[in-house]
Amino acid sequence: MSSKTTRLTALDYARAWAIFGMIIVNYKLAMEVGDHGAIWLHTIAGLFEGRASALFVVLAGIGVSLMTAKARLSRDQHMIRENRKTLVRRAVFLFIAGTVLLLTGWSADILHYYAVFLLLAAVLITVSDRTLLILTGLVLIVSSSMLILLDYSKGWDSGFHRYADFWTGEGFILNLMFNGYHPLFPWSSFFLIGMWLGRKGWWGGNHRRKLMIYSLSGAVIFELLSYFLIHWTSPWLDADSASYLFTTKPMPPTLLYVCSAACLAVAVITICFYIVERFEKNRLTGWLIWTGQLSLSHYLGHIFIGLGLLEAVGYLNNGHLGFAVAYGCGYFVMAVIFSWAWRKRVKRGPMELLMRKWC
């Protein structure tokens, strides 16, 4: 397998695990799981919160950089325009798909945010690596300031499950930019980090090993920093305020959360490169690669099919963590089987084909 092929398939492999994590998190959210269930299961399920979707967005940024690399490096204006048109069309497609999900009542949709990230990418595909890093820093500064200056709970119900003001102009903008599930500030920083990484040839040899060590170390350091800052500031701040400012949970998305989740995403991607390189001929590896290639189809399917089935039989709001995790794992297994059966006959997934026809 060539280095280029390994790079692409490793990213697809990582994307499959991102989808798995998002399924677990979304099913846990949709079934309104509370504090019931074993502590160890809560701990495991909690590991995916804000991490799987961050991995998904970082991978999206890497993918855009790889897709537009030829145009960017050649500075061919025609190719750049065509790449931008493609990104804008895909953004429109994903925004429509996300809006459909929102209209069905799925408030945790990521696709309409993803659409905005693609519009951002269309503007930034020719900027320098340094500019991408500066923009990432600015996004983090602005988002951190917004958490202090604005009311993060505005529009949400008391349990942060439903955004009551979403379909108002002010509510939609506030949700999109600041206090939604994956708002532009700071979630666009994950995408920008992905775009920056996608331009680097750091996925092989010593670069990959260093990237894995640094990113894993960073994730641990930021988690420890969060723990100690919350502990040390509690005597001066109340516990809720300390947690609000220094948590590494995705809501609210603090600076420490973004740093921790970004480091973990990079670590997972580098590990996926090692796995695909080592087990490239393994059947399961191949099936998971195919699953990652159908990620859009599986994202929509796990909501319309997976949650739709539970709603049809009246078991959606069951509140059982064990069932949510088991059902999520079962659905992912079926998604892998579907990917295997589909990809043996068709190169792209159902929704991927539809998007290709659109753009």
How many CA atoms, within 13 angstroms, populate the side-chain half-sphere of residue 183?
26
Contacts for 297 with CB less than 8 Å, ≥ 6 apart: 349, 350, 351, 352
Model confidence over 113-122: pLDDT tens digits?
999 999 999 9
By three-state DSSP, how is residue 203 classified?
coil
For the chain, what is the domain count?
1
Distance CA 287, CA 357 (A): 25
- Looking at the chain, the whole-number percentage of residues with pLDDT higher than 70 is 97
Distance CA 46, CA 35 (A): 12
Model confidence over 259-272: pLDDT tens digits?
999 999 999 999 99
User: What kind and span of H or E run contains 151?
Assistant: none
Using alpha carbons, select from 61, 123, 159, 98 the residue that is nearest to residue 300: 98
Distance CA 322, CA 30 (A): 14
Instruction: Provide the pLDDT confidence category of residue 351 given band limits of 50, 70 and 90.
Output: very high
Is 309 within 8 Å of 256 (Cβ atoms)? Answer: no
- The answer on pLDDT for 316 being more than 90 is no
- Looking at the chain, the whole-number percentage of residues with pLDDT higher than 90 is 79
Q: Structural domain of residue 221, as residue ranges? A: 3-358
By three-state DSSP, how is residue 176 classified?
helix
Distance CA 76, CA 91 (A): 23
Distance CA 293, CA 24 (A): 19
Output phi, psi for 113, to 5 deg: -70, -45
Model confidence over 175-204: pLDDT tens digits?
999 999 999 999 999 999 999 999 998 887
Question: Which tokens in the block code for residue 95?
Answer: 């925004």
- The answer on pLDDT for 136 being more than 60 is yes
pLDDT, position 231: 92
Distance CA 14, CA 272 (A): 6
Write down the number of H helices and E strands in the chain: 17, 0
Three-class SS of 44-111: HHHHCCCCHHHHHHHHHHHHHHHHCHHHHHHCCHHHHHHHHHHHHHHHHHHHHHHHHHHHCCCCCCCH
Mean pLDDT computed over 242-263:
96
Model confidence over 3-45: pLDDT tens digits?
566 668 999 999 999 999 999 999 998 988 776 667 888 888 8
pLDDT, position 209: 92
Instruction: Provide the pLDDT confidence category of residue 139 given band limits of 50, 70 and 90.
Output: very high
The average confidence (pLDDT) of the chain is 93
Distance CA 191, CA 56 (A): 9
Distance CA 232, CA 320 (A): 35
Q: Does this model's pTM top 0.85?
A: yes
pLDDT, position 1: 52
- The answer on pLDDT for 89 being more than 60 is yes
Strand partners, 156: 163
Question: Which tokens in the block code for residue 105?
Answer: 């009542």
pLDDT, position 45: 84
Model confidence over 146-161: pLDDT tens digits?
999 999 999 888 777 7
